[in-house]
Amino acid sequence: MSYEKVSQASNVIVGTKQTVRALKSGHVQEVFVASDADSRITESIIHTAEEMDVPITIVDSMKKLGKACGIDVGATTVAIIH
């Protein structure tokens, strides 16, 4: 279901830096984090999302998350924005 939600969303941001920027600007509805990504990278995203009171969904695969976004590489984080 989570991957479907990402693939059906019209406005997504892929990548750690862009996700943090969007979180801090208050435009994020939900964040998706791949559990197989480096925890040193994902911890900051999760912390920022919790601070901004944004729902976090943990998915199991960077590769599947990237594919749901329509890219050929894995994605550590994806944010659905409004």
The three-state (H, E, C) secondary structure of the chain, written as one string: CHHHHHHHCCCEEECHHHHHHHHHHCCEEEEEEECCCCHHHHHHHHHHHHHCCCCEEEECCHHHHHHHCCCCCCCCEEEEEC
Tens of pLDDT, residue by residue over 14-60, are: 999 999 999 999 999 999 999 999 999 999 999 999 999 999 999 99
Structural domain containing residue 56: 2-81
Q: What's the CA gap between 74 and 56, in Å, rounded?
A: 18
CATH code of residue 28? 3.30.1330.30
- Count of domains in the chain? 1
How confident is residue 2, by pLDDT bands cut at 50, 70 and 90?
confident
pTM score, two decimals?
0.94
